[in-house]
Structure 1
Amino acid sequence: MMRLADRVILTRGWRRWALSFMAGALGALAMPPFGFLPALALSLTPAVWLIDGTNKAGPGRWAPLKSAALIGWFWGFGYFVAGLWWLGAAFLVEAEEFAWALPFGVLGLPALLAFFTAFGFALARLLWLPDASRIFALALGLSVSEWLRGHLFTGFPWNNPGMALGQNLWLMQSASLVGLYGLCFIAIAMCAASAVIFTGRTKRERWTLPGLAAGALVAMAAFGFWRVPSQPSATVENVRLRIMQPNLPQDAKFNPRNRDAIMRRYLSLSASAGRDGLTAADATHIIWPESAFPFLLHRDPASLAQIGGLLEPGSVLITGAARMDDPLPGEAVGKFYNAIQVIDDRGTILGSYDKVHLVPFGEYVPKFLDALIRAMGLRQFVHIPGGFEPAEERKPLTIPGLPAIAATICYEAIFPGEILPEGPRPSLILNVTNDGWFGQTTGPYQHFAQARLRSVEEGLPLVRAANTGISAVVDSYGRIVDSLPLGVEGVVDAKLPVAETAILSSKTRSFSLTAALLICLMALIVRRKQRASFI
């Protein structure tokens, strides 16, 4: 293995970039649904050795940094292509209109995201030393780049390396202390530590850091074992949930011409007997997924009356639905919103939540590109004139019979620290989504895993309704109370778990993580100055 490490360090030319790409692609196996944690170690170990080899990248002071950035770009390109290939399925839903753009989604987005990892590798190389401290330099550099990826240009923190630790029930409990970005730093440092086993100059140097990494993994598992109670969570009294998963393909069947057939399907499935013999009459709250209707529900009295007929007195239905404001003077149509609406047994809409964090190009086109795209005869995926408008702020959703709610639509649930509205702490995360765009791929599994981790971070139960799956009720520790798998139609009948007291708030976690990373940065800078001869 030492000989292998030397060969990787001395690799030059296209072989270096190919090896970096393959190493990054291998790391995607640590993400859902595979969750193979050693894959991240097998991915980051050669990455460390490749950065080691930049010491002789060529003439010029900045040559090592440029070489490290290029290694990082190829590593990230491989990681994102292997982890996000499923995005291509969305371009085939209406293949006659969007299939031409499939390469841009499957290869173009990973190519852009890879610039973040390029920055992370370059930052790490700036702090690099030929000893075990370089592992922390890589963890710091990639953690900073992942934070930037999760916030810049509306943010896209999908498949953050921290998710490698965010799938196992015991290991994910540490997210209650450090959040997703803290898990990211730990996962990278832990998995990259094996690189020093084959490059350390002494036995102590070779085994100290890997030993600490193994100890940290055991400590995380022990904390999780201690934190997760042996008994199921208590439940909220007088609340019986029914989640309807229609498994409706996102194709021509989801069309205004099929509105009556779609409504009949929703109503009959919602009223059917579940696995425990329960029906809609036993539910206090029935939940339908995002984009449930190919029409404007709030402007369709007949459909609202049908929903009212489904419900028992005092019960409500919660559903995703497009919503349109009344047009302003001089406008032909009003603004459209991707919303959650609450309907009672009289067919009356009691309340609504409008989505804040929209999907670029999927739900709206950035204004600076809108004119160009229209001139080319193109549009976003959703059939909404001009796309959806984002809500100005995240507001709590009030639903009769339920505690305070943090409502999220679709991928809003993947943003750590951003899902709670201002004001009193809610007692429930509600997520409605439509992953039908992505078929039977890894994407819906990754989406569910990220939403599930929000429960652990915030100490709140998650109630999730997905068109094609995965629909579930998850307690405050990330334990799945009940669920329906991907690609199955049916209902989930469950009670609502109670919320637990959060160990740390999102703001406290962010402050603590920032302080820890700054301390790490200062320590690396001091060591770098002490060893200024290393370039």
Structure 2
Amino acid sequence: MAPFNPHSSEHRLFTGHSPHARRWPTLLAVCAGCLQAASLAWPWALPEVFQFVGLIQGQALWWGQILALSVLVLLLQGSDSPRSAAWCGWWFATAWLATTFGWLFTSMHTYGELSAPLAVLAVLILAGVLAAYTAGISWCFRAVALLNKALIAIYFVALWTLAELARGLVLTGFGWGAVGYAQVNGPMAAALSWVGMYGLSALAALLAVLTAFVLGARSWQAAVPPALSGVVLLGLMHVLPAPQGVSTGSLNVTLLQGNIAQDEKFDQSSGVPKALRWYGQQLAANRSALIITPETALPLLPTQLPDAYWQALQLRFDQGAQAALVGIPLGSYTEGYTNSVVGFKPGQTDLWRYDKHHLVPFGEFIPPMFRWFTNLMNIPLGDFNRGALVQPTFDWQGQRLATSICYENLFGEELAAQFADAAKAPTMLVNLSNLGWFGEHLAMDQHLQIARVRALEFDRPFLLATNTGRTAVVDHLGRVTAALPNHVAQALTADVQGREGITPYAWWASRWGQGPLVVLSLLVVMGVWLSRKS
């Protein structure tokens, strides 16, 4: 391929030096960032005529994500300097991330009683800080722009992958909104069982670069090679071997959605008695083989429950052919507290429990020097104890269920640790959440897309039990086979097929986490820099 020419019309695209150039690259970067956020879960209900191109409310829009990122590539190529490229990347990522988790405003303002200006500022600061990763790789990308197109593509993919990994892993990580989640409905989703979500993010970045080359081509002849490369890339996804897992049988499951409003969930005069009554009735009357409640469905410690309530639960499941997973806090003032799930089943001598491992900053632990910020909000925040990374599965009727709480399903490399031993690997994945903190916003849809990605990575069904929605059953192919409407108190019953067998991603991620992707990306970046200086 011909070397990149900074004085060509391709380079001048969006810089203002071409008669056809865009005059506001910052505005375009912000708009592209907003499109990337919308591609994770389309926010608007549109007429049915638009659904044939994927514009369905709550659904991922794979091609929208590719288009958005390709615009960023064009903007970076057209930047006058590495510094201007860094600012362009920062604006893009700030808009993308702030729009993606704008629902944090609801938790801080509506339920935390933080003033609206401060809540907006907090969301923007978080997005802006995390956007620094994108700004950094944008600077690096533009600094070595004098390379041929093949190296440009490989270099951008490596840089983008490192930025996504850094955001998802450094300082406990917050990878919410990673572009791989937008691809769950797309033609490259089959790669998830091989390379995982971050590997799929790398493939999405590659397709975005190829798209940028097509959009920025000076002639149709110049557009042909990258277009054909993109077609080949998509074609390869269709010939990837499918996971070789097998069924472990069916389990009849009921997921409970109590719909306890967040502003009364911990209110001793309203939400607490309502939750104890509703979940108590459902646990007593339901006849499914396994009943699952949301996170902190019982919002009191066992010792704080009404007389005989805890003992009645234990007796209820001590005999027969039914079991239950119940979200409840555990611990004491002297021992500390955990956000936990307890398992009841017949014949057990010790109560099974899962303690949340990956705690939420500012929600379940206060980072150093940030106590002043949490004191501004009227939310019962504190420091919880952390459970072990790998904890025993809940084994019932031939199935092994691996449990996670809230946003723990965001960390695929941590869930992968359960798959190191194939004989003990889970046959089903379960997540208990309380998304009531986020009101009507798209956090529920985004959370469901995350579960669908995990199902495809591990070739396992994924069960979501939530307080207000989306309570759903996702099969091992990433399809939502049953779901409840949001904001209703209802039970969802379904027969779920367990699976066994280890996907390629589960095999390598259970041993090395995201290390292979980190090392490979770093080697590419180092190689490009060394070739630049030679």
Give the TM interval when normalised to the shorter protein.
Answer: 0.7 to 0.9
- Relative distance call for 1:218 and 1:439 in structure 2 (3 A) is farther
How far apart, CA to CA, are the structure 1 residues paired with 2:390 and 2:384? Answer: 16
Q: Please tell me whether the aligned partners of residues 10 and 78 of structure 2 are also in contact (alpha carbons under 8 angstroms).
A: no
Tell me, yes or no, if structure 1 residue 291 matches structure 2 residue 296.
yes
How far apart, CA to CA, are the structure 1 residues paired with 2:98 and 2:408? Answer: 22
Partner secondary structure for residue 367 of structure 1:
coil
Tell me, yes or no, if structure 1 residue 40 matches structure 2 residue 47.
no
Structural RMSD (CA): 3.2
How far apart, CA to CA, are the structure 2 residues paired with 1:178 and 1:406? Answer: 21
TM-aligned CA deviation for residue 121 of structure 1: 1.2
How far apart, CA to CA, are the structure 1 residues paired with 2:181 and 2:265? Answer: 35
Please name the residue that 1:149 is paired with.
167
Counterpart mapping for 1:313-328 below 5 A: 313-325=320-332, 327=334
Mark the runs of 5 or more structure 1 residues left unpaired by the alignment.
58-63, 272-278, 328-333, 531-535
Q: What letter corresponds to residue 29 of structure 2 in structure 1? A: S
Please name the residue that 2:489 is paired with.
489
Q: What letter corresponds to residue 414 of structure 1 in structure 2? A: L
How far apart, CA to CA, are the structure 1 residues paired with 2:146 and 2:179? Answer: 23
TM-aligned CA deviation for residue 343 of structure 1: 2.7
- Relative distance call for 1:153 and 1:526 in structure 2 (3 A) is closer
Deviation readout 1:44-99 (Å, 9 max, x if unpaired): 23322222233xx3xxxxxx222221111111011112222122111234354565
TM-aligned CA deviation for residue 446 of structure 1: 0.5
Q: What letter corresponds to residue 436 of structure 2 in structure 1? A: G
Partner secondary structure for residue 498 of structure 1:
strand
Partner secondary structure for residue 429 of structure 1:
strand
TM-aligned CA deviation for residue 380 of structure 1: 7.6
Tell me, yes or no, if structure 1 residue 498 matches structure 2 residue 502.
no
Q: What letter corresponds to residue 499 of structure 1 in structure 2? A: R
2:97 pairs with one of 80, 85, 92 = 80
Tell me, yes or no, if structure 1 residue 52 matches structure 2 residue 77.
yes
Please name the residue that 2:353 is paired with.
352
Please name the residue that 2:242 is paired with.
227
Please name the residue that 1:388 is paired with.
384
Partner secondary structure for residue 399 of structure 2:
coil
Q: Please tell me whether the aligned partners of residues 468 and 487 of structure 2 are also in contact (alpha carbons under 8 angstroms).
A: yes
Mark the runs of 5 or more structure 2 residues left unpaired by the alignment.
1-7, 42-57
Please name the residue that 2:407 is paired with.
411
TM-aligned CA deviation for residue 359 of structure 1: 0.6
1:161 pairs with one of 179, 185, 197 = 179
Tell me, yes or no, if structure 1 residue 29 matches structure 2 residue 41.
no
Q: What letter corresponds to residue 182 of structure 1 in structure 2? A: G
How far apart, CA to CA, are the structure 2 residues paired with 1:30 and 1:227? Answer: 26
Q: What letter corresponds to residue 284 of structure 1 in structure 2? A: A
- Relative distance call for 1:119 and 1:5 in structure 2 (3 A) is closer
Q: Please tell me whether the aligned partners of residues 83 and 139 of structure 2 are also in contact (alpha carbons under 8 angstroms).
A: yes
Moved more, 75-84 or 98-107: 98-107
TM-aligned CA deviation for residue 197 of structure 1: 2.2
How far apart, CA to CA, are the structure 2 residues paired with 1:247 and 1:5? Answer: 54
How far apart, CA to CA, are the structure 1 residues paired with 2:158 and 2:310? Answer: 53
Q: What letter corresponds to residue 387 of structure 1 in structure 2? A: D
Deviation readout 1:453-490 (Å, 9 max, x if unpaired): 11211222212211111122222222333222332331
How far apart, CA to CA, are the structure 2 residues paired with 1:388 and 1:120? Answer: 35
How far apart, CA to CA, are the structure 2 residues paired with 1:514 and 1:161? Answer: 17
Q: Please tell me whether the aligned partners of residues 305 and 346 of structure 1 are also in contact (alpha carbons under 8 angstroms).
A: no
- Relative distance call for 1:475 and 1:233 in structure 2 (3 A) is farther
Counterpart mapping for 1:158-307 below 5 A: 158-168=176-186, 171-200=188-217, 203-221=220-238, 223=240, 227=242, 234=247, 236-237=249-250, 239-258=251-270, 259-269=272-282, 280-281=286-287, 283-297=288-302, 299-300=304-305, 301-307=307-313
Q: Please tell me whether the aligned partners of residues 87 and 443 of structure 1 are also in contact (alpha carbons under 8 angstroms).
A: no
- Relative distance call for 1:164 and 1:97 in structure 2 (3 A) is closer
How far apart, CA to CA, are the structure 2 residues paired with 1:399 and 1:256? Answer: 34
How far apart, CA to CA, are the structure 2 residues paired with 1:198 and 1:318? Answer: 52
Counterpart mapping for 1:335-346 below 5 A: 335-344=336-345
- Relative distance call for 1:14 and 1:266 in structure 2 (3 A) is farther
Partner secondary structure for residue 392 of structure 2:
coil
Please name the residue that 2:54 is paired with.
none
How far apart, CA to CA, are the structure 2 residues paired with 1:84 and 1:221? Answer: 32
TM-score normalised over the length of structure 2: 0.83
- Relative distance call for 1:269 and 1:351 in structure 2 (3 A) is closer
How far apart, CA to CA, are the structure 1 residues paired with 2:167 and 2:502? Answer: 26
How far apart, CA to CA, are the structure 2 residues paired with 1:288 and 1:348? Answer: 22
Deviation readout 1:106-139 (Å, 9 max, x if unpaired): 3221111111111221232234236423233222
- Relative distance call for 1:165 and 1:149 in structure 2 (3 A) is same
Please name the residue that 2:55 is paired with.
none
Q: What letter corresponds to residue 17 of structure 1 in structure 2? A: T
- Relative distance call for 1:129 and 1:484 in structure 2 (3 A) is farther
Q: What letter corresponds to residue 342 of structure 2 in structure 1? A: Q
Report the number of matched residues: 496
- Relative distance call for 1:511 and 1:105 in structure 2 (3 A) is closer
Deviation readout 1:126-181 (Å, 9 max, x if unpaired): 3423642323322221111100001111101111111221234x632210011111
Q: Please tell me whether the aligned partners of residues 62 and 182 of structure 2 are also in contact (alpha carbons under 8 angstroms).
A: yes
Q: What letter corresponds to residue 153 of structure 2 in structure 1? A: I
How far apart, CA to CA, are the structure 1 residues paired with 2:528 and 2:316? Answer: 63
Q: What letter corresponds to residue 301 of structure 2 in structure 1? A: L
Please name the residue that 1:107 is paired with.
124
Please name the residue that 1:435 is paired with.
435
- Relative distance call for 1:400 and 1:130 in structure 2 (3 A) is closer
How far apart, CA to CA, are the structure 1 residues paired with 2:347 and 2:523? Answer: 59
TM-aligned CA deviation for residue 22 of structure 1: 1.9
Deviation readout 1:433-465 (Å, 9 max, x if unpaired): 111111121111111111221121122221221
Q: Please tell me whether the aligned partners of residues 255 and 294 of structure 1 are also in contact (alpha carbons under 8 angstroms).
A: no
How far apart, CA to CA, are the structure 2 residues paired with 1:73 and 1:161? Answer: 16
TM-aligned CA deviation for residue 523 of structure 1: 6.2
Q: Please tell me whether the aligned partners of residues 459 and 476 of structure 2 are also in contact (alpha carbons under 8 angstroms).
A: yes
- Relative distance call for 1:442 and 1:233 in structure 2 (3 A) is farther
Q: What letter corresponds to residue 79 of structure 1 in structure 2? A: W
TM-aligned CA deviation for residue 280 of structure 1: 1.1
TM-score normalised over the length of structure 1: 0.83
Moved more, 82-91 or 144-153: 82-91
